[in-house]
Structure 1
Amino acid sequence: MLAPSLFPMMVFALASLSIGGVAVTVFYPQVVKASSFKRRFESIAAFGNQKSSSDEQGRDRRRSVEETLRELEEQQKAKTRKAGRPTLTGRVRQAGLTWTRNTYYAVCAGSGLASYLIAFLLGLGPLTALGFGLAGGLLLPHLYVNTKRKGRFKRFSAEFPNAVDVIVRGLKAGLPVSDCLRVIAAEAQEPVRSEFIAIVQDQTLGMPIDEAVQRLWERVPLPEANFFAIVIGIQSKTGGSLSEALGNLSKVLRERKKMQAKIKAMSSEAKSSAGIIGVLPFLVAGAVYFTSPDYMSLLFSTLTGKIVLVGCALWMGIGILVMRKMINFDF
């Protein structure tokens, strides 16, 4: 039996526990909800901190890429000025010829002598034949080197996207960049093969890959080689997926090739019309000369006729240049 003095205390304790239990039952969902909100707010704040740190990393990467692009742009401007005025040795090298400077001068002398002999044998005077000899010695080797140079650049542009695809497939297969370059140097078509052989040789001598690729653009001053050098330079300084970047570059190069073919197809009609218009006056003049030589001989025997011929040649030249400018699309 409990003492009568303890009974009020037990009643108070039981009443307090009952009231406390009712209060917990009523307010517990609110407390739990508040704690879940707190946890959610804490998680959002942590995610915001992570996002801010990732944003800072992204800004740092963009800043690094921008600085690299500015450096490359400055280097490209300096090298563009240099590539726009190649030396005689550089032009011969870009043409794929093995001539030295002395060989080029010997070819100029031989061309000049041959032009002089041909003009002299055709019955022209010594002074006129000498003029033809000087023109042939200066122009014929220059035109030959330029023709070979343009043809080599054209073959390089046609084969270069395949070489970039080889690098992309090699990188996706796990090969390093140097091995991919060696594969191209061994298996690609000329002139891509010889240019990548030079890159591999530069790397063998200890030159970094970005500098070796920059020298490719110096040897082959084409937009395709410039794009390739920029991609390699950015990746070597800022990191990133080289296979993805080169894959996008390959797509760009092939789209440029398609655009070039489309422009050529669209401008073929205009080029044919310009060729017909340019040749037609000479054909008509030749036909008139053979049918009525006395009628045409006035243009060659009188002062007025010679002035007319000079004026016609001047206006024909201007017209041909204007038509060439109108149908020569650059992209």
Structure 2
Amino acid sequence: MVSILAAVLAFVAVAGFGFVLVGQSPGQARAARRTQAMLGRETREAKARRGGSNVQDQRRKQILESLKEQDRAQRKASLSVKARLQQAGLGTTVRTFWIISAGLGIAVFLLTVTLGQPAYLALGLGFAAGLGLPRWTVSIMAARRIKKFVEAFPDAMDIIVRGIKSGLPVNDSLRVIGAEAPEPLAAEFRYLTENTGMGVSIDQAIDRMYERMPAQEVRFFGIVLAIQQKTGGNLAEALGNLSTVIRARKLMREKIKALSGEAVASAFIIGSLPPAVVVMISLMAPEYMAPLFVDPRGRLILLGGVLLMALGIWVMRRMISFKI
């Protein structure tokens, strides 16, 4: 009996010691379960927050991708012949433009053949005159017109701001710009007021203006009006800030133009030096330069030189051009 009692006591002692080391009281067990539940809830909340942030990131990426797609589509549409003619302010249709281009190309081809030049040279000049020269001319006219529009655009914002502060509606302020602003700003705002008067929303009307005038200032103007319509706020203050930003962009462009003037002058000198040397040598020693124009190998060398010079001028122009 003594040995059995000693064994039971030893077992109880060992079990109690083990329970002290690893065991828990009922209160401690409940506390542990609550702690585990809270940790589990916090883990689920953290996962939910991560999931929400992931959803927001995905939405943000989708919005950015959609904006990039819209920008590419609008840029592609603005490079079409019809858009270029509208940007240049020409009332010529696309069909008339292509007829004029074809007539010009045929005339240059026949003139080159009449002067006794080879057929491939006449074909190349005719192709360049028919396809390249009219588009280049229209592009230059469009760029000049857009530049005039952008230079006068901050003044239009100031007119709208003064009109709103004096109690005029936005549409009346737009009509004032169409009546008193210089061209081409007045014409574009007249189109804008005509579209809104026919029931077109202001967003769609500004999108049409952007097609005719693909300038970032027009897009900023549309964004400001869209935000004001959806969220409200002080439109005069927003347009005043937009006018300040546009003027700051113009100042930055002028500063960059001044800083890159040396590079522009260098490109002009380097580009005009070879033709000037050819003309001078042709006047001083015509027999020395004659093989360059008569011999087929000389013509090939001349063509290669022209292509390389054009490539070099294009590279230098790309190096000194900045987008703001």
Which residue does the alignment assign to 2:81?
A: 88
Which residue does the alignment assign to 1:261?
A: 254
Moved more, 184-193 or 73-82: 73-82
Instruction: Give 1:34-53 correspondences, 5 Å limit.
Output: none
Q: Deviations over 1:48-100 (max 9, x none)?
A: xxxxxxxxxxxxxxxxxxxxx99996775444222211233222112211112
Match of 2:236 among 233, 238, 243: 243
Which residue does the alignment assign to 1:190?
A: 183
In 1, distance between residues paired with 2:315 and 2:145?
A: 28
Which residue does the alignment assign to 1:283?
A: 276
Q: Deviations over 1:300-322 (max 9, x none)?
A: 56677566545544543343233
CA RMSD of aligned residues (A): 2.8
Provide closer, same or farther for how the CA distance between residues 112 and 239 of structure 1 changes in structure 2, counting only shifts above 3 A: same
In 1, distance between residues paired with 2:189 and 2:81?
A: 23
In 2, distance between residues paired with 1:298 and 1:135?
A: 25
Once the 2 structures are TM-superposed, how far is the Cα of residue 295 of structure 1 from its aligned partner?
Answer: 4.1
Q: Secondary structure at the match of 1:85?
A: helix
Once the 2 structures are TM-superposed, how far is the Cα of residue 234 of structure 1 from its aligned partner?
Answer: 0.6
Once the 2 structures are TM-superposed, how far is the Cα of residue 218 of structure 1 from its aligned partner?
Answer: 2.8
Instruction: Give 1:196-215 correspondences, 5 Å limit.
Output: 196-215=189-208
Moved more, 246-255 or 186-195: 186-195
Structure 1 contact 79–218 (Cα < 8 Å) conserved: no
Q: TM-score, normalised by structure 1?
A: 0.70
Q: 1:226 is matched by which residue type in structure 2?
A: R
1:324 aligns with 2:317: yes
Match of 1:97 among 85, 90, 101: 90
Provide closer, same or farther for how the CA distance between residues 297 and 193 of structure 1 changes in structure 2, counting only shifts above 3 A: same
5+ long unaligned stretches in structure 1: 1-68
Provide closer, same or farther for how the CA distance between residues 247 and 240 of structure 1 changes in structure 2, counting only shifts above 3 A: same
Which residue does the alignment assign to 1:116?
A: 109
Q: TM-score, normalised by structure 2?
A: 0.72
Which residue does the alignment assign to 1:138?
A: 131
Match of 1:233 among 194, 206, 226: 226
Provide runs of 4+ in structure 1 moved above 6 Å.
69-75, 301-304
In 1, distance between residues paired with 2:163 and 2:63?
A: 26
Once the 2 structures are TM-superposed, how far is the Cα of residue 127 of structure 1 from its aligned partner?
Answer: 6.0
In 1, distance between residues paired with 2:102 and 2:282?
A: 38
Which residue does the alignment assign to 2:4?
A: none
Once the 2 structures are TM-superposed, how far is the Cα of residue 231 of structure 1 from its aligned partner?
Answer: 0.5
Once the 2 structures are TM-superposed, how far is the Cα of residue 281 of structure 1 from its aligned partner?
Answer: 2.4
In 2, distance between residues paired with 1:299 and 1:125?
A: 14
Q: Secondary structure at the match of 1:330?
A: coil
Provide closer, same or farther for how the CA distance between residues 262 and 104 of structure 1 changes in structure 2, counting only shifts above 3 A: same
Moved more, 182-191 or 319-328: 319-328
Provide closer, same or farther for how the CA distance between residues 207 and 298 of structure 1 changes in structure 2, counting only shifts above 3 A: closer
Moved more, 299-308 or 179-188: 299-308
In 1, distance between residues paired with 2:286 and 2:164?
A: 72
Q: Secondary structure at the match of 1:240?
A: coil
Which residue does the alignment assign to 2:54?
A: none
Match of 2:245 among 233, 252, 270: 252
Percent of pairs identical after alignment? 46
In 2, distance between residues paired with 1:303 and 1:116?
A: 19
Provide closer, same or farther for how the CA distance between residues 284 and 151 of structure 1 changes in structure 2, counting only shifts above 3 A: same
Structure 2 contact 83–211 (Cα < 8 Å) conserved: no
In 1, distance between residues paired with 2:134 and 2:265?
A: 29
Provide closer, same or farther for how the CA distance between residues 265 and 190 of structure 1 changes in structure 2, counting only shifts above 3 A: same
Q: Secondary structure at the match of 1:175?
A: coil
Provide closer, same or farther for how the CA distance between residues 116 and 304 of structure 1 changes in structure 2, counting only shifts above 3 A: closer
Structure 1 contact 111–140 (Cα < 8 Å) conserved: no
